[in-house]
Structure 1
Amino acid sequence: MSMLPLARYRFHFTASTPVRFPAWAGSVLRGGFGHALRQLACMTRQKDCPGCPLLHTCPYPALFAPPPVDHPLQRLSQPPAPYLIEPAGWGALELPPGANWHLDMVLIGRARHELPLIRLAWQRAAQRGLGPGEGRSELHEIETRTPESPQLPENTHAITLHFHTPLRLQDNGRAVPPDKLDAERLLMQLMRRLALLAEFHGNGSPGWDFKALKQAAATIASQKQLKWQDWTRRSSRQQQTMQLGGAIGRWTLQGELTPFLPALHLGQWLHVGKETVFGLGRYTLEDISAKTPNLPERPFQAIDSLRQSTPPQ
């Protein structure tokens, strides 16, 4: 999708002292990265970014914490950040000196041009110490990651999303449990996320017809094999512990998926739901069209009106 260029990088580290990470390291990694990035980028040394005369030119808020804006699509206390951090996997880690570890980072749109600054921020964060006990590491390599799955064919009518990290879709500020999730909510949150990322960090708003997309999404059938995965993080800024669990497992979508296929493909890099910067909402796709019988004809009234606003290939 040319409107939103992406890149995924793998940062390779070697522990200099014992390094410990909690069950999900996304929060502590992001905190260490953000602290180092601010020290590198901030010129005024003001305590807070709002009110700073360099707010709109400094790379720190542009990358890490875009300032609030008024937006017609939804209320944005903070626009989506142009990056997300993907720890190596779920489960607490204790690494001895000399052990190797890695994280992946997706950079979105213009953020890709800040890779030298981002590299330096990770280098300093690791040398200062990450995780409980502030174990120190050395950054020794950055590897460009290739796509994990091919582009889906246009005639795909059944796919399975494998959620590897908790999917957190919210309704009125509360996470929706697995048994209440539906395809319409999933697809529309994904489409809104991509539209906002394209507008703020890519080549401009795609101008999709969200009313027609919503009608189309309502026709998609789904089969879920999801369970709840709890996750607790400690916010140093808010000085409180937060419960941020979500659904993991398999979710199969069936129906006229054509308007959503490019977005579903991109979602493997961009994730979906809340707390994506920590690596939540990550999934990979499996095309199962050949494994499922053809679905009976259904009256997809919204499809004709979508032809002019289908996401570009």
Structure 2
Amino acid sequence: MLPLATAELPIARYRFTARLRQNLRLPDYAGSLLRGQFGAALRHLACMTRQTVCGGCPLQASCPYTRIFEALPPQGHALQAFSAIPNAYVVEPPPPVTSRHDDGATHPGHYAVGDDLVFHMVLAGAALDQLALVVYAWQRALAHGLTKDRAPADLVQVEWVDGHGIGHPIWHAGHPQLAPHPASLQIPVAPDTDALQLHFDTPLRLQHQGHPIKPAQLTPRALLAAVARRVALVLEFHAGQSQWGGLVPCVSAQAEQLHELRDLHWFDWKRYSSRQRQEMTLGGVLGCWTLRGDTDTLADLWPWLWLGQWLHVGKNATFGLGGYRLQAA
């Protein structure tokens, strides 16, 4: 079996650029908003039966909407019963912006007419086969309008982002055909270092027995176990690669050998749930976390941590929570 570090993995990040046709004010963290409006557009395009709910639909198992947006757990599994599995996508919203309007003042979170709204989406496994549908769903969602003000935008470009963060245009409004591109990842060689830094840009929400883990209770083992488990499950259920799950206990054990230096804090972020029709508070951990250990141990853990930058980690990863940047300290 090839080690994870040398495997060609069906995971890809895409950068979407849309141009505003109306002034727009986004919430401080727009991941939930974008995810919800994309999902509504995707369901409208993919649903053939027009049932109000997916449960009980005869096409549920094969529908592109459920396969991308609401993944169904397997009926049976060799290791355990799953009530839910990770989805094959992550929406990465734009960071908060400050725009200057005609009145000369600056407005946090405001976009003006003609501004570009740039965000990312990560797709894995079979979801990559539906890229054309995903792009079209974003076109529809953006044209329909964002936020309760229904501010419309035109999708103008989509780029495939390589492992170095460089964007390569694969679609634009004037030529709406997807260009061929290597929709996969190759993990780079681990740096020769005894310390790795994780910079959490969006709240990390790990849980234990149904309760969120606060900064004082976080451990390297909890982090690495969550990252490795998420990577293994996404690759198993969406790419048919079941070989990585057996390595999760080894990753957790190796994490016990690490030392740490942390500058972490708790952050409460509020969002409105259209499904539950109420405001919700979703707390998580932000800041910098330095993991130290011998170079061999960090080299073994490097592939998992590196992939976590694409797939995120913890609860609500699908709308961008648990996002971090990894670098040698």
**TM-score normalised over the length of structure 1:** 0.86
Which whole-Å CA distance do the structure 2 matches of 1:165 and 1:57 have between them?
Answer: 33
Write out per-residue CA displacement over residues 30-65 of structure 1, whole angstroms, 9 at most, x where no aligned residue.
010000000000000011111111011110000000
Which whole-Å CA distance do the structure 2 matches of 1:60 and 1:170 have between them?
Answer: 28
The AA in structure 2 aligned to 1:16 is R
Q: How many residues align?
A: 288
The AA in structure 2 aligned to 1:81 is N
Deviation at 1:147, TM superposition (A): 2.2
Q: Which of residues 194, 200, 206 in structure 2 aligns to 1:157?
A: 194
Question: Equivalent residue for 2:275?
Answer: 237
In structure 2, the gaps of 5 or more residues are 98-107, 166-186
Question: Equivalent residue for 1:134?
Answer: 150
Write out per-residue CA displacement over residues 166-224 of structure 1, whole angstroms, 9 at most, x where no aligned residue.
11111122211112111000000101001100111123212424433332221211111
Deviation at 1:225, TM superposition (A): 0.5
Question: Equivalent residue for 1:143?
Answer: 159
**Residues 1:279 and 2:314 aligned together:** no
Which whole-Å CA distance do the structure 2 matches of 1:186 and 1:212 have between them?
Answer: 14
Question: Equivalent residue for 1:29?
Answer: 34
Q: Which of residues 15, 19, 28 in structure 2 aligns to 1:14?
A: 19
**TM-score normalised over the length of structure 2:** 0.82
Deviation at 1:26, TM superposition (A): 0.3
Q: Give the share of equivalent positions with the same residue, in percent.
A: 43
Task: Report the 3-state secondary structure (helix = DSSP H, G, I; strand = E; otherwise coil) of the residue aligned with 1:143.
Answer: strand
Whose strand fraction is larger, Structure 1's or Structure 2's? 2
Task: Report the 3-state secondary structure (helix = DSSP H, G, I; strand = E; otherwise coil) of the residue aligned with 1:57.
Answer: coil
In structure 1, the gaps of 5 or more residues are 289-313
Kept in 2, the 8 Å contact 1:33–1:121? The answer is yes
The AA in structure 1 aligned to 2:158 is I
What is the 5 A alignment of 1:156-175?
156-175=193-212
Kept in 1, the 8 Å contact 2:229–2:245? The answer is no
Kept in 2, the 8 Å contact 1:3–1:202? The answer is no
CA RMSD of aligned residues (A): 1.9
Task: Report the 3-state secondary structure (helix = DSSP H, G, I; strand = E; otherwise coil) of the residue aligned with 2:9.
Answer: coil
**Residues 1:77 and 2:83 aligned together:** yes
Kept in 2, the 8 Å contact 1:10–1:144? The answer is yes
Kept in 2, the 8 Å contact 1:231–1:243? The answer is yes
Write out per-residue CA displacement over residues 221-260 of structure 1, whole angstroms, 9 at most, x where no aligned residue.
1111111222111111122222112111110111122331
The AA in structure 1 aligned to 2:318 is V
Change beyond 3 A, Cα 1:193–1:160: same
Question: Equivalent residue for 1:102?
Answer: 118
Q: Which of residues 285, 291, 294 in structure 2 aligns to 1:253?
A: 291
Change beyond 3 A, Cα 1:212–1:160: same
**Residues 1:218 and 2:248 aligned together:** no
